[in-house]
Amino acid sequence: MLVQQQNELIGLIGHAVQVVAPEARPEIKLERPKVAAHGDVACNVAMQLAKPLKRNPRQLAEAIVQVLREQPQAQQLLAEVEVAGPGFINFRLTAAAHQAVITEVLRESEKFGHAPGHGERVLVEFVSANPTGPLHVGHARQAALGDAICRLFEASGYDVYREFYYNDAGNQIDNLALSVQARAQGISPDASEFPADGYRGDYILEIAEQYLAGATVQASDGEPVQAAADPNDLEAIRRFAVAFLRHEQDLDLQAFDLRFDNFYLESSLYETGRVEQTVQRLIDSGHTYEHEGALWLRTTELNEGDDKDRVMRKREGGYTYFVPDVAYHVTKWERGYQRAINIQGTDHHGTVARVRAGLQALGVGIPKGYPDYVLHNMVKVMRGNEEVKISKRAGSYVTLRELIDWVGRDAVRFFLIQRRADTEFVFDIDLALKQSDENPVYYVQYAHARICSVLQQWGGDVDSLATAQLQHLQAPTEFALMQRLASFPAMIQAAVADLAPHHVAFWLRDCAADFHAYYNAERVLVNDPALREARLALLAATRQVIANGLQLLGVSAPERLERS
């Protein structure tokens, strides 16, 4: 059911309710019946109002239906209205109401399902990897989720700003520098004098060799860094190693077809004094205290989700990891982003309460619940029924680029989005390479390519289908497919509200299934010109909406696919 049709029906129900119960002010919601035979859409407004109005819900529903049937507008939209069970109202749309989606899709094309811009801004932070190694499959899942969420918000009319936060300060960067220095000095990762917490992948040797060769590297948003070639200059090694890995991660992002509007450096928060300023403001707010030489934040008073107060400044000096995070999120708010979304791994779960508590303690008007978080589980990679754990280059994990090399970018994106973010996911390499209905991305792309093949075989002008006589579409599989297409805009709205791009993947699989069922049941290129054009119009609309859905996931919509 199209969004405008939903709004029209809600208005009609609202009018009927006002006639039957003028004092009522219900929130009218529509839902799809669990059993398709019960109708196209249902409403429980009578059951919602029965108790406050002290009326029998079924009798109330029958009174509402009686008023609805008398409205001329309802007669154009609704073929049947009936009361079911204890007071549900079930609606069945007219054939013309179902067929209207084809006209709208052909008119709006790639904009079908998109809302007009409304000027609201949202900052989405994702990937945000430490520059200590190549991006791994966990970063890949985060990248796929973050990019899809950005695309969904853009489709919903938001101005979206994409940000990558580089954790280029702290112990991990120290360990990186020491690891590169050790390799530059000829110390093997297996040697006892190699740093205990060092990085042992072959990429560390690559950095050391490039450093000793005096190479120059440059990250996408930084100044070129030339290696000093001195294995004893730890600070020079640190600068070069971070720049080298930022450049490597840029290549990873390019391979995944990701773009960012800004790369924000954690180190800049210290260099500009923002961390110290934030700590002082927290002290001034009265929400901190000293205990055993450490500075603590009263998170238990500020956030019910934290079970104990948290250390901000350690007894031996230095800040705990959530303190610069608080300072960083203040910058998001000060830059005018009243909506911010972070895509992070579930290992950051403890950060959520602490960052939000710190922002509340500052008392600068940041609302509770800021920012929003999408926390994702890690990914297990399987190949040949065995888990793939080791990358020779990275040393201990499968990299993003390896995954792309194995199965292609489309499969990586679709597979990593097709489940809820907080569920564990097994990436089956063998399945991703299959050219069969078992492979969900192939199944969806094949539906698109199959339609392209039919339209090519027809050979006519697709634009001419805008005037097709759609009343000829009467088969049950045609109505099922039209209903699926009409649900696309509402699905986008739900995916944005839930921060759940897997809704798109689910919808695409269901739409492909509806198309394949229709294609197998009905001939398209029939002799009757009017019926042929109507069915071609349905196919052209289906092709467009599948392409629109794939675009939301950053997945291509090929016009040709070979099938084994």
The residue among 322, 170, 340 whose CA lies nearest residue 262 is 340
For domain 126-271+377-433, say whether CATH 3.40.50.1000 is its number.
Answer: no
The residue among 388, 382, 396 whose CA lies nearest residue 427 is 382
Task: Please state at what angle helix 488-498 crosses helix 529-552, rounded to 10 degrees.
Answer: 10
DSSP letter at 70 equals T
What residue spans define the domains of the chain?
Answer: 3-93, 126-271+377-433, 436-552
Per CATH, which fold does 3-93 belong to? Answer: Gyrase A; domain 2 (3.30.1360)
User: Which three-class secondary structure state does DSSP give residue 373?
Assistant: strand
Q: What is the pTM of this model?
A: 0.93
**Domain 436-552: CATH architecture, name and number where available:** Orthogonal Bundle (1.10)
* Cα gap 464→69, rounded to integer Å: 37
* pLDDT given at position 394: 60
Residues ≥6 apart with Cβ < 8 Å to 330: 274, 278, 359, 362, 364, 366
* Cα gap 324→308, rounded to integer Å: 20
Residue linked to tokens 């291509």: 556
Buried b or exposed e, range 243-267, using 16+ CB within 10 angstroms:
bbbbbbbbebbebbebebeebbbbe
Note whether 163 and 124 are within 8 A (CB).
yes
Which tokens sit at 226? 């030339």
Q: Is the N-terminal amide bond of 489 cis, ω within 30° of 0?
A: no
Q: What is the DSSP string of 228-294?
A: ---TT-HHHHHHHHHHHHHHHHHHHHHHTT---SEEEEHHHHHHTTHHHHHHHHHHHTT-EEEETTE
* pLDDT given at position 564: 55
User: Can you list the residues of the chain whose pLDDT is less than 50?
Assistant: none
* pLDDT given at position 287: 95
* pLDDT given at position 38: 87
Q: What is the DSSP string of 376-399?
A: E--EEEEETTEE----TTTSSS-B
Task: Please state at what angle helix 488-498 crosses helix 502-521, rounded to 10 degrees.
Answer: 160
From the number of C-beta atoms within 10 Å of its C-beta (0-12, 13-18, 19+), residue 395 rates as middle
CA distances from 307 to 293, 353, 370, 375, 421 (A): 21, 10, 19, 20, 25
From the number of C-beta atoms within 10 Å of its C-beta (0-12, 13-18, 19+), residue 368 rates as exposed
The residue among 25, 22, 17 whose CA lies nearest residue 65 is 17
User: Which three-class secondary structure state does DSSP give residue 190?
Assistant: coil
